[in-house]
Amino acid sequence: MNKLGDSWLLSLIGLTGLAVIVSLYLVFVYVPTELIMGIVQRIFYFHVPSAWVGFLAFLVAFVAGIAYLMRREPRWDMVEVSSIEIGVLFSTIALVTGSIWARPIWNTWWTWDPRLTTTLVMWLYYVASLMLRRVVDSEDRRARFGAILSIVGFVNVPVVFLAIRLWRTIHPVMFSSEGFEMAPGMLLTLGSSLVTFTLLYLCLLVIRVRIEYLSSELSRLRQLSIPARS
């Protein structure tokens, strides 16, 4: 990794840190408390961005999977598996924060709502895909297998996103005059949180891909050292 790449990553981390501070101020100080739901509604500014990053991460993995099958370059496999891991992490956060939010509002931790059910199916699929990758010994076969899984799995992502419009659900429809309205301050805070979580995703992706690259290089060097020892 060259110094230019390190400087770019440090700048990205610095920008993300600044965005985190701004977003935390907006969430806990600036934005007004919602009249009906009260302070628990502030989870919204973590729940929605987490779900968004999950969708984004799986989209990136989908594109990287296609790119790998077309070009067979290891870097695309690194991006694909790294993005799926991050997507699973943020989808987990979305499910957990959603449950915490639902308890005082819906009086239950979980309900088989179409959005919740499809999200859980999506989460289980990608967790299983990461586990199945480890079963394959060959690096090339593992990469091809992972690429196919990321492409097939992405079919469910639009279903999760559109679930509140395709079926009757207790989830509100955002950005619709009929379903969900936000005050300007709330909209500003949500926008800031979305930008912050997106920057955080980019930071984690770059760092995770670097780790994957260094791990691959270490394995290659170990293989080269085996004949010398014998």
- Rounded Cα distance between 33 and 191, Å, is 17
Q: Is residue 224 part of a domain?
A: no
> Any long-range contacts for 116-120 (C-beta under 8 Å, 24+ apart)?
118/156, 118/159, 118/160, 118/163, 119/51, 119/91, 119/94, 119/95, 119/160, 120/95
What pTM did the predictor assign? Answer: 0.88
**Rounded Cα gap, residues 1 and 46, in angstroms:** 33
What is the DSSP track for 92-156? HHHHHHHHHHHHHHHSSS----HHHHHHHHHHHHHHHHHHHHTT--SHHHHHHHHHHHHHHHTTH
> Can you give the residue range of the structural domain that contains 134?
3-219
From first to last of its 230 residues, the chain has per-residue pLDDT tens of 455 567 888 889 999 999 999 999 999 989 888 777 878 888 999 999 999 999 999 999 999 999 999 998 989 999 999 999 999 999 999 999 988 888 887 788 888 888 888 899 999 999 999 999 888 888 888 889 999 999 999 999 988 888 777 777 766 666 554 445 677 888 899 999 999 999 999 999 999 999 888 887 777 777 776 654 44
- 227, part of any domain: no
Question: What integer pLDDT is reported at residue 23 of this predicted model?
Answer: 94
CATH number at residue 166: 1.20.120
* In-domain check, residue 20: yes
Q: How many domains does the chain have?
A: 1
- Is residue 161 situated within a structural domain? yes
CA distance 24 to 45: 10
Q: How far apart are the first and last CA of the chain?
A: 31
What's the confidence (pLDDT) of residue 174? 60
* Contact between residue 189 and residue 58 where contact means Cβ atoms under 8 Å apart: no
For residue 24 the two structure tokens come to 């935390």
Task: Please provide the DSSP assignment of the chain as one string.
Answer: --HHHHHHHHHHHHHHHHHHHHHHHIIIIISPPBTTTBGGGGGHHHHHHHHHHHHHHHHHHHHHHHHHHHH--HHHHHHHHHHHHHHHHHHHHHHHHHHHHHHHHHSSS----HHHHHHHHHHHHHHHHHHHHTT--SHHHHHHHHHHHHHHHTTHHHHHHHHHHHS--SS--TTBTTTB---HHHHHHHHHHHHHHHHHHHHHHHHHHHHHHHHHHHHHHHHHHHHHH-
Query: Is residue 230 situated within a structural domain?
Result: no
Determine, yes or no, domain membership for 201: yes
- Could you tell me if residue 172 is inside a domain? yes
pLDDT of residue 220: 72
Q: Does residue 24 form part of some domain?
A: yes
